Amino acid sequence: MKKFLYIFILLFIVGWAQAQQRVVYTINDGWKFTKGSPFEAQLAGCDDSSWETVNIPHTWNNKDADDETPGFYRGPAWYRKQLFVDKSQEGRQAVIYFEGANQEVRFYLNGQFVGEHKGGYTRFCFDITSHLRYGQENLFTIYVNNVYNPNIPPLSADFTFFGGIYRDVYLQFMNPVHIATNDYASSGVYIRTPEVNNSAASVEITTLLTNNTLQPAEIRVENVICDADGKEVKKTHAEIKLASGETKTDISKKIKIDSPRLWDIDDPYRYMVYTRILDKKKGTLLDEVVNPLGLRWFKFDSEKGFFLNGKGRKLIGTARHQDYFQKGNALRDELHVQDVLLLKEMGGNFLRVSHYPQDPVIMEMCDKLGIVTSVEIPVVNAVTETEEFLQNSVEMAKEMVRQDFNRPSVMIWGYMNEIFLRRPYTEGKQLEDYYRFTEKVARALEATIREEDPSRYTMMAYHNMPQYYEDAHLTEIPMIQGWNLYQGWYEPDINEFQRLLDRAHKVYKGKVLMVTEYGPGVDPGLHSYQPERFDFSQEYGLVYHKHYLREMMKRPFIAGSSLWNLNDFYSESRVDAVPHVNNKGVVGLNREKKDVYWFYKTALSRRPILVIGNREWKSRGGVVNTAQKECIQSVPVFSNAEEVELFVNNKSLGKKKVEDNYALFDVPFVGGENLLEAVAVAGDSKLRDMLRIQFQLVGSQLKDEAIPFTEINVMLGSPRYFEDRTANVAWIPEQEYKPGSWGFVGGTSYRRKTGFGSMLGSDIDILGTDMNPIFQTQRVGIKSFKADVPNGEYSVYLYWAELESDKEREALVYNLGADSEQTFAGNRSFGISMNGTTVLDDFNIARDYGYARAVIKKFVVTVKDGKGLSVDFHKKEGEPILNAIRIYRNY
C-alpha cells in the first residue's frame, strides 16, 4: 500500500513536471566573491567564509574607475554559491544562461568542470542537466578573468574593460524534447522575412529541435503568429520524428501575411511568433519559445541614404556605452531601459550599439520604440596576427548574429572599429603583413556575417586616416562605410568635416556612407563665452554639434549618423576634464542632460519644445557690468517655436527669433536668486519653462558698498566658468587688474601643444582633487594678483599644479593622432609675498609635490589702511605660475 502510494505520488510529480513549460529565472543574488585564485575554489572544501557577498550584475572594477590610481584590476576572480534546486525539475533539461561576463569564464557545478566561454560581450549558456542534484543544494562556482588576452578582442579600446558577471544569470528548465538552446545561445528559432511590401509579407521560420531522451520522439511543431493584441494571424504545423539524442531543423516557408502592419520608426508594430512543440500523440505542450516579428523592408542607397518601408529616413542617433556612475558596466535592466528612452525622447531614430553587443533589454527597447540599430563585435583598435584571434572574432560574429537575429530593429551588423588606430608597425614588410592579415580577418568576418544573415547590411568604422584603410582594402569590404570624425576636436579645423564627407562621397563612389562617430568632450560644470576646442565647455559642445548636424543634414548621401556618445563613460586611460571619464556624452554618467541634449531634442523632435538651457548651472557667478549693478551673461533657450520671449525676475527681455534650435538671450543677473521664465507659442500650444539660478555677483569696484565684498573665486589663464557642484562655489574667469578692482598683473595663459595646434590649459589628470578644471589652466609668468578689497581679515587660498613634466608625456592613446608633446618647465622656483610680507621664498612645486598634483595653500591676511590685497610673485628660476585663487572675507 505504502509503495503504491509512493508510485502514485511519483507519477503525479513526473506528470506534472512534464506538462510544465519552460521555467526561467535569474539567480543573481547572494554570491560569494573573491579576486585572485584561491586553492581549488571550485571544490566544496574551499572555505569561502571570508569572501565578500555580492549580487549580480557585478563588476570588481567599479571603484577602480573612481579612484586616483591609474589602471584597474585585470585578473582572475571567483564567484560561488550554494543553490537549492527543486526536486520537481528532475528529469528536465537544465541550462545556465549568462547574458554576458567579462571576459573569460569557466563554469563548474558541484566541483566538476562544465564549460567555458571567451569574450566579454556576448551571451552564452551551458547544459547542466547531468551535473545537477535535485532537491538538494548545488555548488555553483564560476571563474571569471578580465586579463589581457592577445587572442580575444578587444585588445585595447577607449573604454574600461570592467571585469565580472556584469549582466544577469539565469537557470532554465525545460522538457528534454525542446527547442534547442545550444546554438550560440540563440533562441533556437530564426525568423526571416524574404519579402515584405504594403500588401503582403512572407515569413520563414526555422526551428532547431532537440530530443535529449533515450527514446525517439514524435512531435508536432507549431508556429503561431499573433498580432500585438494576441490574436492569431497565421499558424503553421509540421510533424517530426526525432531519434534519441538527435537535433533537427524544421523550416516553415512562405507563411503569407496579407496587408501587414509594418514595423516603422513611428509605429514599431510587432507581431509575436509562438513556436511550440507538442507531443504528437497526447497533444501536450512540450516546449515554447516566443520571438518578436517586425515586418519591414529597408535599403541603403549611396546617393539618397536610408529607406524604411519605401520612405526616405535620415538616421540620426547616438552610440552608447553600458556605463553608469559608480557602477561601471554592472547595470540593472531599468538603467538600460532608461537609456533607450532618453534616446527616443531626444528624437533619435538610430542606435549604434557599440562597441559590442549589449544587454538583451537594450535590443528589446529598440524593437519596442522604433529605433533602428547597428550591432557590432568589439574588434577595436588592432588585431593580433594569429589564427586564434581570427577564429575568436568569427565566433563572436556568429554569436552576435544568431542572438539578435529576430530583432526587427537590427538592420546593420558591424565589425572592426578604427582597426588601424593602434598599428603596431608603421612601415615596411611588417606593416604590409599586418595589413594583409587584418584584411583576412575583415574578409572572414564579412563572409561569416553575410552567410549567417544575407538580409542585413554590414558596416565597418574608420578613423580619419583613409589611406591606411585603402592600403589594406578595408574600404572595399563592408557594405556600409562608417566614418568616425572629430574635426574641430582632435583636429583643429571644424570645416574639414564637410570636406571629408564630400571626399568620401567622391572617392568611394557607390558606397553607402554613415558618420558613425563625432562629438566633443563636455563637462556640464564648465562654461565659456569664448568657446574653443578642448575647453570642455557646454558652449563649445553647442558650436560643434550645430555645425555637424547642419552639414550632415545638407547631404542626402549621408545615410545617417550616431553621435559619440549618448552617455559619458569610463575609460581608465583617459584624462579629460573628469579623470578616467570620456565626457563626450550628451548626458552624463548619471544621465544628467547637457545643453547639447536639448539642442538635439529641439532639432529632432516633432513635439513643441521650450527649454531654458544651462539648466544644471545652478550656482553661477560674474562681475557687475551694467550701471544697474547687474551682470549680463547669455543663456540659450531651446525651442522649435519661431520665437521665444524671456522674462528675468518678471521683466521681459523681449522676443527673439530662434535660429539653429535656440535663441540666445543676454540676461542681466542680479546677486542672489534669479527667476527666468520663457514663453513661446508653437502651433496651438502655449509653452512655458522656468528656471531658478543662484548668482554670485562680484563688484567691479571692490569697495562699492552696494555690493559688499564676500568672496571671489578666480581661475587663472582661463576664460572658463566652473561650478564646484559639491560646495556650490561659482568659479569665474580671470581678468586684468585695474585700480579699484581685482585681477592679474603680467604673464600669459598656459597652452599645451597638441599634435595639431594647441589647447587651452592641460588635460592631464590632476591628482589629489576632484576639481580638475581649476588646476588645469594657469597663468605663466604672473607678477601679481591684486584685489582692492576693503579693510578686514581675509583667507587667501592659492591653487597650483605643475602642468609641465620632466618626463616625455605619454602620448594620449585615444587622441586620434593628436599626440602631445610635453616640455620640461625647467627647475621652476619662485617666491611669494602678501602685502609686502614674504610668505614663501623658494617655492618649487615639482620639488615638493611633483608633477600634476593639486597644491592648495591657505593664508590669512589682514588688509589695512585701504591698501587692498596684493599677492606678489618673485621669479627665481623659470616662470612663476598661479592656477587659481580664492579670496574669502573673514571679518
> Which residues of this chain interact with Ca ion, rule CB under 5 A?
168, 333, 359
Contact 734, 771 (CB under 8 A): no
- Residue-wise burial string across 206-226, b where 16 or more C-beta atoms lie within 10 A, e elsewhere: bbbbbbbeeeebebbbbbbbb
Place of cell 509540421: 238
Which entry of ligand GCB, Ca ion, none binds 872, CB below 5 to 8 A by partner kind? Answer: none
We find the least distance from the C-beta atom of residue 158 to ligand GCB, in angstroms, to be 4
| Cβ proximity to ligand GCB, 344 vs 352, nearer residue | 352
Q: Tally the C-alpha atoms within 13 A of residue 493's C-alpha that lie toward its C-beta.
A: 6
Which entry of ligand GCB, Ca ion, none binds 564, CB below 5 to 8 A by partner kind? Answer: ligand GCB
The grid coordinates of residue 663 equal 535663441
Which entry of Ca ion, ligand GCB, none binds 484, CB below 5 to 8 A by partner kind? Answer: ligand GCB
Residues 6+ away with beta carbon under 8 Å from 448: 394, 397, 398, 401
We find the least distance from the C-beta atom of residue 320 to ligand GCB, in angstroms, to be 12
Integer Cα distance of 287 and 722 in angstroms? 60
| Cβ proximity to ligand GCB, 126 vs 814, nearer residue | 814
We find the least distance from the C-beta atom of residue 486 to ligand GCB, in angstroms, to be 7
We find the least distance from the C-beta atom of residue 409 to Ca ion, in angstroms, to be 17
CA angle 151, 157, 161 (to 5 degrees): 75
| Cβ proximity to ligand GCB, 180 vs 382, nearer residue | 382
We find the least distance from the C-beta atom of residue 488 to ligand GCB, in angstroms, to be 13
We find the least distance from the C-beta atom of residue 723 to ligand GCB, in angstroms, to be 23
We find the least distance from the C-beta atom of residue 26 to Ca ion, in angstroms, to be 9
| Cβ proximity to ligand GCB, 173 vs 814, nearer residue | 814
Which entry of Ca ion, ligand GCB, none binds 639, CB below 5 to 8 A by partner kind? Answer: none
| Cβ proximity to ligand GCB, 709 vs 814, nearer residue | 814
We find the least distance from the C-beta atom of residue 143 to ligand GCB, in angstroms, to be 29
For 343-358, give the DSSP string.
HHHTT--EEEE-SS--
Which entry of Ca ion, ligand GCB, none binds 41, CB below 5 to 8 A by partner kind? Answer: none
Which entry of Ca ion, ligand GCB, none binds 474, CB below 5 to 8 A by partner kind? Answer: none
Interacting residues toward ligand GCB by CB under 6 A? 157-158, 417-418, 463, 484, 517, 564, 582, 584, 814
The grid coordinates of residue 560 equal 545617417
Measured from the Cβ of residue 671, the count of other Cβ atoms closer than 10 Å reads 20
| Cβ proximity to Ca ion, 333 vs 339, nearer residue | 333
Which entry of Ca ion, ligand GCB, none binds 814, CB below 5 to 8 A by partner kind? Answer: ligand GCB
We find the least distance from the C-beta atom of residue 392 to ligand GCB, in angstroms, to be 20
Contact 788, 742 (CB under 8 A): yes
We find the least distance from the C-beta atom of residue 349 to ligand GCB, in angstroms, to be 21
Which entry of Ca ion, ligand GCB, none binds 417, CB below 5 to 8 A by partner kind? Answer: ligand GCB
The grid coordinates of residue 626 equal 551694467
572: three-class secondary structure by DSSP: strand
Between helices 428-452 and 387-403, what is the axis angle to 10°?
30
| Cβ proximity to ligand GCB, 172 vs 484, nearer residue | 484
> Of 604, 485, 586, whose CA–CA distance to 538 is shortest?
586
Say if residue 568 is exposed, middle or buried (CB neighbours under 10 Å; 0-12, 13-18, 19+).
buried
We find the least distance from the C-beta atom of residue 55 to Ca ion, in angstroms, to be 13
Report helix, strand and coil shares of the chain as percent, to nearest 5: 15, 40, 45
Integer Cα distance of 146 and 102 in angstroms? 6
| Cβ proximity to ligand GCB, 159 vs 413, nearer residue | 159
Which entry of Ca ion, ligand GCB, none binds 359, CB below 5 to 8 A by partner kind? Answer: Ca ion
The grid coordinates of residue 774 equal 581649476
> Of 22, 11, 39, 197, whose CA–CA distance to 95 is shortest?
22
Which entry of ligand GCB, Ca ion, none binds 517, CB below 5 to 8 A by partner kind? Answer: ligand GCB
Which entry of Ca ion, ligand GCB, none binds 168, CB below 5 to 8 A by partner kind? Answer: Ca ion
Which entry of Ca ion, ligand GCB, none binds 582, CB below 5 to 8 A by partner kind? Answer: ligand GCB
SS3 readout for 272-330: EEEEEEEECCCCCEEEEEEEEECCCCEEEECCCEEEECCEECCEEEEEECCCECCCECC
| Cβ proximity to Ca ion, 164 vs 699, nearer residue | 164
| Cβ proximity to ligand GCB, 418 vs 763, nearer residue | 418
We find the least distance from the C-beta atom of residue 59 to ligand GCB, in angstroms, to be 19
We find the least distance from the C-beta atom of residue 418 to ligand GCB, in angstroms, to be 5
We find the least distance from the C-beta atom of residue 465 to ligand GCB, in angstroms, to be 11
We find the least distance from the C-beta atom of residue 605 to ligand GCB, in angstroms, to be 26
Place of cell 608633446: 821
We find the least distance from the C-beta atom of residue 352 to ligand GCB, in angstroms, to be 10
Which entry of ligand GCB, Ca ion, none binds 463, CB below 5 to 8 A by partner kind? Answer: ligand GCB
Residue 568: φ, ψ to 5°: -60, 155
> Of 800, 782, 803, 751, whose CA–CA distance to 880 is shortest?
782
Which entry of Ca ion, ligand GCB, none binds 645, CB below 5 to 8 A by partner kind? Answer: none
| Cβ proximity to ligand GCB, 16 vs 148, nearer residue | 148
| Cβ proximity to ligand GCB, 563 vs 801, nearer residue | 563
> What are the distances in angstroms from CA 117 to CA 164, 214, 647?
13, 29, 61
| Cβ proximity to Ca ion, 168 vs 595, nearer residue | 168
The grid coordinates of residue 580 equal 578616467
Q: Tally the C-alpha atoms within 13 A of residue 753's C-alpha that lie toward its C-beta.
A: 10
Task: Specify the amino acid at residue 482.
Answer: G
Decide the pairing of beta strands 711-715 and 884-889: antiparallel
C-beta nearest to ligand GCB: residue: 158
β-bridge mates for residue 177, sequence order: 211
Distance of CA 7 to the CA centre of its chain: 57
| Cβ proximity to Ca ion, 359 vs 763, nearer residue | 359
Which entry of ligand GCB, Ca ion, none binds 141, CB below 5 to 8 A by partner kind? Answer: none
Integer Cα distance of 434 and 456 in angstroms? 29
The grid coordinates of residue 72 equal 584597474
> Of 41, 40, 17, whose CA–CA distance to 31 is shortest?
41
| Cβ proximity to ligand GCB, 438 vs 614, nearer residue | 438
The grid coordinates of residue 721 equal 566658468
Which entry of Ca ion, ligand GCB, none binds 535, CB below 5 to 8 A by partner kind? Answer: none
Integer Cα distance of 712 and 696 in angstroms? 9
| Cβ proximity to Ca ion, 168 vs 539, nearer residue | 168
Query: Which 8-state DSSP code applies to residue 102?
Result: B
